[in-house]
Chains A and B, each alone.
Chain A
Amino acid sequence: MKILVCISHVPDTTSKINFADNDTKFDTNGVNFVINPNDEFGLTRAMWFKEKQGASVHVVNVGGPETEPTLRKALAIGADEAIRIDTPATDGYSVALQLADVAQQGGYDLIIGGRESIDYNGGMVPGMLAKMIGANFVNTCISLEIEGSSATAIREIDGGKETLQTTLPLVIGGQKGLVEESDLRIPNMRGIMQARSKPLHVKQGVEQSPRSQATTFEKPAPRGAVKLVDNVDQLIDLLHNEAKVI
């Protein structure tokens, strides 16, 4: 089985979000970039398929050279090869289009993406990619088993979960549940050393024009101070008469 894991390079969850150039660009000053958490759950599940079912695992990212440390980290966790598509990640559609090209050329059986990236939150790349290459698609996937060419996936639905039976080739939008938090791997010294000599291919992107682009960013208006109350009667009164939410 050949697996491709799509890795988004995102600011870590504690990052202060600021914008530069008249609020037209994300300010990367002092920001630490990591593997998108949803993708990390997927990558860790891919390691399970590698170790238990002999799968080969490639990772791919669409972005400039600054994303290579994130790909190296994925190699250190255990991926066999990395691909960087050397073009800026503008909108979800163009990222999906670039990935579709790699996916088709590589003949992957399973492509693992994340439910959403924690920066743009578009939630669209895996679905678009699946549709472009004619693969089956399961979003918000929290469990995945593969046997031969058939797959059993559990997806989160509003208020519960649903078990699906489908076939390869398959694209998933993964999240926590694919593996548990405690299964996530911190690369060890040996992994980091090996990662240095694993292949990291840089590919040119395909020509395309973005379907959408961010023009400006803004931050939410600062909020008023909390109203502290010292008894529950007062709280109920405020919620009823002032906030009008009960």
Chain B
Amino acid sequence: MSVLVYTESENGSFKKTAFEVVSYAKAIATELGTTLTAVSINASNTSQLGVYGADKVLEITNDSLANFDSQAYADAISQAATSQDATVVVLSQTANAKFMAPLVAVNLEAGYVSNVVALPKSITPFKIKHSVYTNKAFSLTQINTPVKIIGLGKNAYGLHETSAAAVSEAFSPTLQQSNTKVISVDKATDKVTIADAEVVVSAGRGLKGPENWGMIEEMATILGAATACSKPVSDMGWRSHGEHVGQTGKPVAATLYIAIGISGAIQHLAGINSSKIKVVINTDPEAPFFKAADYGIVGDAFEIVPQLNEKLKAFKAQNA
């Protein structure tokens, strides 16, 4: 018996979510009285994982895994889990982790629960809480299989330092020829992504047109934030589809979500509910977003946002 956690990296460096899943998996390993093994793919600096509790790291180094391939990654992680006799496998909920998790579940004949928000409520039977109905409710779900796969929601547990040995060991999975090839990747490397961002600055139809997004981008730059938008804004082509957040767009689990000129329709709120602090700026005091926010300013975005940007710049300069 052991706990296995997959630690995702990009260009060799671990993502922040990797440290969060290790922290979480360590707590489960402690509860089960067993050890925690992390598995990494083409990552350097694996000893960092010890800080969050990894006792062992299986390092996979393989050029054919340079691009993400769901089948190959799922096979690699499944084989690592089997080699460690893992009964619990923890993954994050990044796009790639969500892509391969169901494949790992079939490989390991395991029950899989996604969007998990807390440590297991009980071990026997194994019950765990996860969000359902797009953040409008939680379900306590029981997993009946010997092997359990947990997809931990971003920022659901946080980082916890515990320090363990993180002894690394090379691991070479047996991989099949893949039928799927990556032709091209189109990714802005200079921008913070909604998935990784701690702060998200989002704007809606209240901004009147795409030409007015300069002040939104400026705020994002000052705060090191990602930019996002409501659905009609992406439907009208003011912003790219990748920025659409909400029930039919991307989920946002940021520590700070700033909504500017967004009314707060139920479908929008569903997607951003798991963010910690929400700020709304809207001319209409009756806008439903005020019922869902922590802080609000009733006012015109075209006046408030430039003022806020100036003051934030000064604040950042002082607190740098």
In the bound complex, residues from chain B placing their C-beta under 8 Å from that of A224 are 294
Interface size on A, residues (CB 8 A): 81
Q: How far is the CA of A166 from the CA of B94 in the complex (A)?
A: 22
Take A142-B241, A228-B298 as given contacts and tell me if A118 and B134 are in contact as well, using a CB distance cutoff of 8 Å. yes
- In the assembled complex, the CB of B42 is this many whole angstroms from the nearest CB of chain A, namely 17
Q: Is B249 an interface residue (CB 8 A)?
A: yes
Q: Is B196 an interface residue (CB 8 A)?
A: yes
- In the assembled complex, the CB of A124 is this many whole angstroms from the nearest CB of chain B, namely 4
Number of A-B contacts (CB under 8 A): 254
In the bound complex, residues from chain B placing their C-beta under 8 Å from that of A246 are 199, 223, 256, 312, 315
Q: Is B320 an interface residue (CB 8 A)?
A: no
Among the listed stretches B51-59, B82-90, B109-117, B210-218, which one makes contact with chain A, having 4 or more residues with CB under 8 Å of it? B109-117
Q: Is A22 an interface residue (CB 8 A)?
A: no
In the bound complex, residues from chain B placing their C-beta under 8 Å from that of A142 are 241
In the bound complex, residues from chain A placing their C-beta under 8 Å from that of B139 are 214-217
Flag if B140 contacts A13 (CB, 8 Å). no
Q: Which of A140-163 contact B (CB under 8 A)?
A: 140, 142, 152, 155-163
Flag if A157 contacts B144 (CB, 8 Å). no
From B107, B133, B195, B299, contact of A158 by CB (8 A): B195
Q: Is A139 an interface residue (CB 8 A)?
A: yes
Among the listed stretches A44-52, A55-63, A74-82, A234-242, which one makes contact with chain B, having 4 or more residues with CB under 8 Å of it? A234-242
Q: Is B16 an interface residue (CB 8 A)?
A: no
Among the listed stretches B21-29, B30-38, B159-167, B178-186, which one makes contact with chain A, having 4 or more residues with CB under 8 Å of it? B178-186
Among the listed stretches A64-72, A104-112, A174-182, A193-201, which one makes contact with chain B, having 4 or more residues with CB under 8 Å of it? A174-182
Q: Is B221 an interface residue (CB 8 A)?
A: no
Which of A142, A212, A217 has its CB near the most chain B CB atoms (within 10 A)?
A212
Q: Is B205 an interface residue (CB 8 A)?
A: no
Q: Is B65 an interface residue (CB 8 A)?
A: no
From A159, A166, A238, contact of B188 by CB (8 A): A159
Flag if B180 contacts A245 (CB, 8 Å). no
Q: How far is the CA of A211 from the CA of B199 in the complex (A)?
A: 37
Q: How large is the interface on B (under 10, 10 to 19, 20 to 34, 35 or more residues)?
A: 35 or more
Q: Is A127 an interface residue (CB 8 A)?
A: yes
In the bound complex, residues from chain A placing their C-beta under 8 Å from that of B134 are 118, 121
In the bound complex, residues from chain A placing their C-beta under 8 Å from that of B142 are 212-215
Q: Which of A181-238 contact B (CB under 8 A)?
A: 181-182, 209-220, 223-224, 226-233, 235-236, 238
In the bound complex, residues from chain B placing their C-beta under 8 Å from that of A177 are 241
Q: Contacts A212-B113, A227-B294 known; list 14 others, CB within 8 Å.
A: A13-B247, A17-B133, A118-B133, A118-B247, A128-B102, A136-B180, A156-B95, A163-B186, A212-B142, A227-B295, A232-B297, A236-B308, A239-B256, A246-B256
Chain A interfacial positions (CB closer than 8 Å to B): 11, 13-14, 17, 19, 37-38, 91-93, 96, 118-128, 130-132, 136-140, 142, 152, 155-167, 175-177, 180-182, 209-220, 223-224, 226-233, 235-236, 238-240, 243, 245-246
15 contacts between A and B (CB under 8 A): A122-B114, A124-B105, A139-B98, A140-B95, A155-B99, A162-B182, A164-B183, A215-B141, A216-B139, A217-B139, A218-B140, A220-B135, A226-B296, A227-B296, A239-B279
